[in-house]
Amino acid sequence: MAIQRTFSIIKPDATKRNITGKIVAKIEEAGLRVVAQKRIRLSEEQAKGFYAEHAERPFYGELVEFMMSEPVVVQVLEGEDAIAEYRAVMGATNPADAAPGTIRAEFAQSMGENSA
C-alpha cells in the first residue's frame, strides 16, 4: 500500500464538548499521523463548498448551519491507505450503525451531530 493523505474535520458537536483530544487519539491509534491541524470557524462559503455534493439533499441547509455553529478542527492525516483507514476509524454516518470502538460509535450524539 502507498502512503496517502486525507482531510478530516472534527465537527462542532465535538469541539463544543471539548473531546477533540480523544478523537485525535483514536485517529493516531488507527496508525494515522496528523501532519497538519488547525481550529477554525467555517464561513458559509467554506461549509457550502465542502458539502457541495449534498446541495440538493433536504438536510443541506441544516448541515451548513451546523458546521458554522461552533469551531471545527481541520486536519490532514497521513498513513498507509489513509483514506480507507480514516473511514474505518470514523465509523458509519449513523452512529447506531457504527462499529464499536469507532469515533462515531463512541462520541456521536446523533446522525447529524456525529463528531467526525
Read off the CATH number of the domain in which 32 is found: 3.30.70.141
Would you say 104 is a known binding-site residue?
Answer: yes
Q: Which of the 8 DSSP states describes residue 99?
A: P
In a domain, 55, yes or no: yes
Would you say 93 is a known binding-site residue?
Answer: yes
pLDDT in tens, 62-114: 999 999 999 999 999 999 999 999 999 999 999 999 999 999 999 999 988 99
Say if residues 89 and 11 touch (Cβ distance below 8 Å): no
In a domain, 57, yes or no: yes
pLDDT in tens, 12-56: 999 999 999 999 999 999 999 999 999 999 999 999 999 999 999
**pLDDT for position 19:** 98
Supply the pTM of this predicted model.
Answer: 0.92
Would you say 18 is a known binding-site residue?
Answer: no
In a domain, 24, yes or no: yes
In a domain, 115, yes or no: no
In a domain, 17, yes or no: yes
Q: Distances in Å between the alpha carbon of 103 and those of 22, 65, 69, 93?
A: 9, 22, 21, 10
Would you say 5 is a known binding-site residue?
Answer: no
Structural domain that includes position 69: 3-107
Would you say 33 is a known binding-site residue?
Answer: no
- Largest Cα–Cα distance in the chain? 38
In a domain, 113, yes or no: no
C-alpha cell belonging to residue 37? 491541524
Mean of pLDDT over the chain: 97
Would you say 94 is a known binding-site residue?
Answer: no
